[in-house]
Structure 1
């Protein structure tokens, strides 16, 4: 299995918060890509590399970034032997390719013909999350069908459904559909879906079909990776693996909350996410 970490975003909300913060406490975060933000003892994305390596979950880690942050990621990756950096060649948020196109870029550039775990570069999970358990869950659904994929799910609050892709799931934990940012009255489900997908090697070629279909669509339809998952659900069997929650670093308050958890509440850094 290979890992593709999506890190080509520009963090516009976070950088706006940092520049408008009058305390000066976060001035050191100015111009820093979200995956390279210090979270606890290391960069946010380093937690993923440590866990993916320690768990032997993958045999290759590919990080897709942009031209603006490429040098910073190259400098960071020099500390690891199993990480490769790829730039999408864009230099501003208006030029961005979108997350699905970045995933396709990695698959093509590195000639990936394996299962792929897709990870949002600004996302971390609570301490009970285990890559080992995800590996077991993926093996189970693959035993049923080689087409099967596995995605994560956690219970969000009722008033938060409009922020996320919400999964409707059958009794066998197979996903029936994903509703994009529904009102609480539009679905009984409260299963939010973070950006962590284990896509089977049979599903990866469908990236081309999705992007061909969306060729003339607005960038928003190609940007959120959940849009590809939503499109995939009626075409391939997709199952859920349940977790307790996540950290999604989108703005300064969410970054502060995440960093505080890793500094004060994380009990075992070495086994985190393994």
Structure 2
């Protein structure tokens, strides 16, 4: 099967305020090396977190180009890191702190406009790694199957979370054909029967990309919280394009220090095997 050609976008314009706060509060000094480092570049198993994604994606010839959106504060750090990856281009959203951040949806649209992206686009949250049993080739093949049925199809991932965890994640509700019928941002357990948590790992069809500007134009006067999380656009998208789901076993989400430690220790153990 010939896999679809696509572009890849990493979202890396966040400020990692929770992780930074946890590191500053830690009295052991063991994690002082994380100070001032954006989450996509924190060392995981001895390598920058985002480098794990590059290792996987570079194996696919159909990935034509990589893009990354960051902010002005961390731009230089990403530029230094990107010297090892010639196929990757970077753009800054120009912000300097968490209070002035653009939000994920604006960052996606910035990349689409700046790099004139018109192909299918895989969007990956820069602070997320999926469990190692995730098969990217199978995921892309599934997307191709859906595209043959309808060129508008998009494909997002989900994993089953615990009941009490729904308030932490975007939750998907789907029908018998694995099509998204509803998206709820951090709902209480009693508000939805679903436990399908949706990480920021979305494959958007090229026909869905113009909807980004439409979404932002309609919300130009709305507060940031309504356009910040990438799931805000997904909530808009599924009513206009068919969005299918692909089940994964789980993910590492480097939010705070404890989740970082779990992720780092796992990959350090894998490296030692």
- Which TM-score tier does this pair reach, normalised by the shorter chain? over 0.9
1:62-211 equivalence runs, <5 A: 62-211=67-216
The number of residues matched between the two structures is: 268
Structure 2 counterpart of 1:9, from 14, 17, 21 = 14
Q: Deviations over 1:163-196 (max 9, x none)?
A: 1111111111111111111111111111000000
Alignment pair present for 1:32 and 2:37 = yes
Alignment pair present for 1:55 and 2:60 = yes
1:271 alignment counterpart: none
Q: Deviations over 1:117-143 (max 9, x none)?
A: 000000001011111011111001111
Q: Deviations over 1:28-53 (max 9, x none)?
A: 00000000000013100111111111
Give unmatched runs, 5+ long, in structure 2: 1-5
Structure 2 counterpart of 1:229, from 222, 229, 234 = 234
Quote the Cα distance in structure 1 between the aligned partners of 2:270 and 2:226.
37
- Worse overlay, 5-14 or 45-54: 45-54
Q: Deviations over 1:202-245 (max 9, x none)?
A: 00000000000111111111110001001111110000011000
> Could you say what the CA RMSD is over the residues aligned between the two structures, in angstroms?
1.2
TM-score (norm 2): 0.96
Question: In the superposition, relative to structure 1, how do residues 43 and 218 fare at CA in structure 2: closer, same or farther (>3 Å)?
Answer: same
TM-score (norm 1): 0.96
Give unmatched runs, 5+ long, in structure 1: 269-274
